[in-house]
Structure 1
Amino acid sequence: MEVSSHLQVIEIGSSAATSYCARLFADFGADVRKIEPPEGDPLRRSEPTTTGGQSAWFAFLNFNKSSVVIDAAAPQASRRLAALIQDCDILIDGRDVDPADCPFIDLPLISKRHPRLICLQGSWFGRNGPYAGLTATDSTVRALAGLVRLVGPVEGPPMHAPDFQTGILAGLWGFIAAASSVISQTHGSGGRSWLLNIFESSLAPSEYFIAEAFARGDVMRRVG
Structure 2
Amino acid sequence: MGALSGITVLELSRVLAGPWCGMTLADLGADVIKLEAFEGDDTRGLGPPFLDGMSAYFACCNRNKRSLAINLREPAARPLLEALVRKADVLVENYRTGGAESLGVGYETMAAINPGLVYCSISGYGRDGPGAMRPGYDYVVQAEAGLMSITGPADGEASKVGVAVADLATGQNAATAILAALLQRQRDGRGQRIDVSLFDTQLSLLANVAGNALFTDVDAPRYGNAHPSIVPYQTFAASDQSFVLAVASEKLWVQLCRALGHPEWADDARWHDNAARVTHRDSLCQALSTLFAAEPAAHWLALLERAGIPAAPINSVRQALEHPVAHARGMRYDIEGIPMVGSPIHLSGSPARRELPPPRLGEHSDEVTRAMGFDPDGLRAAGAIR
TM-score range, shorter chain: 0.7 to 0.9
Could you tell me how far apart the structure 1 residues matched to 2:47 and 2:154 are?
27
Alpha-carbon displacement from aligned partner over 1:164-201 (angstroms, at most 9, x marks no partner): 22110111111111100111222243111111121111
Kindly provide the CA deviation profile for residues 142-179 of structure 1, in whole angstroms up to 9, marking residues without a partner as x: 01111123443454213344632211011111111110
Q: How does 1:34-183 map to 2 (within 5 A)?
A: 34-72=34-72, 74-96=74-96, 103-105=103-105, 107-161=107-161, 163-183=163-183
Distance 1:5 1:126 in 2: 30
Inter-partner Cα distance in structure 2 for 1:134 and 1:49: 30
Distance 1:34 1:204, change over 3 A: same
Structure 1 pair 13–214 and aligned structure 2 pair: CA distance change class (3 A): closer
1:222 to 213, 221, 224: 224
Amino acid at match of 2:224: R
Which residue does the alignment assign to 1:3? 3
State whether residues 143 and 160 of structure 2, in contact with CA within 8 Å, keep that contact through their aligned partners in structure 1.
Answer: no
User: Which runs of 5 or more residues in structure 2 are unaligned?
Assistant: 226-234, 236-386
The CA RMSD over aligned residues, in Å, is 2.6
CA contact (8 A) 1:9 1:33 kept: yes
Quote how far apart the aligned CAs of 1:51 are. Answer: 4.5
Letter in 2 for 1:201: T
Moved more, 150-159 or 11-20: 150-159
Deviating runs (4+, > 6 A) in structure 1? none
Code of the residue aligned with 1:85 in structure 2: it is: V
Q: Residue 6 of structure 1: SS of its match in structure 2? A: coil
Whether the aligned pair in 2 keeps the contact of 1:97 and 1:122 (CA below 8 Å) is no
The equivalent of 1:206 in structure 2 is 206
- SS of aligned partner of 1:187: helix
SS in 1 for 2:194: strand
Q: Which moved more, 1:67-76 or 1:25-34?
A: 67-76
> 1:124 Cα shift?
0.8
Bigger shift: residues 206-215 or 19-28: 206-215
TM-score (norm. length: structure 1): 0.87
Q: Tell me whether 200-209 or 89-98 shows the greater mean CA deviation.
A: 89-98
Tell me the SS of whatever aligns to 2:17. helix
Change (3 A) 1:151 1:106: closer
Give the letter aligned to residue 6 of structure 1.
G
The 3 A distance-change label for structure 1 pair 191 and 113 is same
Number of corresponding residues = 223
